[in-house]
Structure 1
Amino acid sequence: MQLKAQSCSLLAALSLGILATVAMAINYFFFKFPGNNYFPPDVFLIAVMLFLAFIGSYLQFGKESMAVKMTRELIYYFLVMCVIAFATNAIQYTPFTPIDDLLVSLEASIHINIVDIVTWTVSHPRFTQILVHIYDSLPYQMSFLPVATIFMRKFSYLREYYCLLLVSALLGFSFYYFYPTLAPATTLQNPIFSPEQYATGIKFKEIHQHISPSTIEGGMIAFPSFHAIWAWLCLYLVRWWRLLFFLLLPVNILLIASCVLLGWHYPIDLLGSFIILLLTHYFCFHCVKKN
């Protein structure tokens, strides 16, 4: 199972890397947009430390030792996140027109108003604060949960997680490149939204006016919501530990809901996330089955 998921992850990583490189090349030769760097500032130091840890554990304990296997998994996860960061850098250079007006029109046709939803949320300050903390917990979950899974030696769950991460990025990032979004704040221009939410659209507009972006704050992709996608994948990763899964379940349900309740995403973005997740699980399942 591990080897099958690993080969699927490699295929998805190569596909994502190639498409990101093509997007980078198109921008370099034709559009020449400036952009942000979404790699962490200490990425090289992390790479060196992981490499030294792997060499040290190999020399000290031998290639079949658990220390080597655990360090190798940390390197795999680091490489997966590097591929996703590289693809994130690439898709910000999309030359296409945002589709936010279409999304707003679709929601208006079924009487959904994101401003009314956010207004209701902020009228409950304590609930809003809880949602803010939960929404901001996703980066910590994506850092801690894979590492905890590595130390618990649940490697087969990790390999499946890598595959799901990469395939969801391949599908969602590809959609965003051709059909970009600015998120509700920039489109609707209502004071109910926060400065960080406006930053998403500010970055996009500056980049496409050939101005170096003044901020890296905010998000990037509204449709589909990767906060929702990754919140589910974090839950799916820890299904081997039932207690943690059920403790995290209500938190991540609120995390997904907060995408809309706090105004970071249109409600229809969650539908996009659901479709991406269905396709991701389908492709990963059949890829593993074929191999």
Structure 2
Amino acid sequence: MRLLRTLSGHLRLVTRAIGRRRFASSTEEYAKRNYANNEAEYKTVIGSLTSQRRPYLLRDVYDDMMLDGVKPERDTFHSLIVGTMKGSRLQDAFFFRDEMKSMGLAPDVALFNFLISTCGKCKNSDQAIQLLEEMKRSEVKPTGQTYICLLNACASGGRLDRVYAIVRDMTAAGLGLNKFCYAGIITAHKNKTPLPDDTASKIFELVEQSKGWSSVEQTKDNAENIMLGISEEELYNLPTAEYIHRRGGFISRQLTVYHVAFHAYADLRTVEATERLLEMLEKDGKSPDVFILMQVMRYFVVEVISFCMYCYPLRKFTLCEV
């Protein structure tokens, strides 16, 4: 099997050096070598590779399915594309989309959401916009989740113009802005190039505005995301995505907008804005969780390192003078 050959690359090189032996495998030998026999077993393998962060092997698993004559159904393609999404493998995601189409399975709204999210992870907002246009041509109705995925995909590239255009579309469709929308707008301001001088104050204003956020419509996609092990933080590419499954109060989900704002300030290295945001958090009667404390510490650690790097040549110069 192709996957097993990938995992045992060194053994394959030794085999080539010794020489090939051509013979037919018996049924028992094939059963030992084969790691999956039906779609359910292949789905288990796909889920295992995704959880192990080995998305580069998903194409091999798919090829093995084809060799074994196992036809993947819609939910299997969803699992494959979710794996590529988590691994930020945009080319593989579109490969599975095309394979799905070739088998007569039309992409649904959930799959489009996964693809748009993958575009966001790869900072490819142009492709994300094209996917929305494809949805319209295919008469697949976007949901609130689709718009938020698209908003955050455009925000990853600092496309503030596109982000506010999506906000206007959402408002026209009667959808309110929730905390993930505000998180995306903050990210867009942080990633905009060239960076405006008032970025820190804009982010502070957005945190203030977000306190009246509303809930975007809930859809059946949320239930499917939970079944596939996808959190909203992962789907929308928030900086807390890597930590959301940790226990012990590591992440307080009520502080989503604060998380993104503190993360932005740490990247921008603005101490005054960070202190103002901590004061706002205290006035709201909330305490910083572990992620927020990490961002505050990250800023000061970077400042200390920068100061030490600045002082080292001066110290060297002083010693030479002595």
TM over 0.5: no
- Judging by fraction of residues, say which structure has more helix: 1
Higher relative contact order (CA 8 A, sep 6+): 1
TM-score w.r.t. the length of structure 1 is 0.28
TM-score w.r.t. the length of structure 2 is 0.26
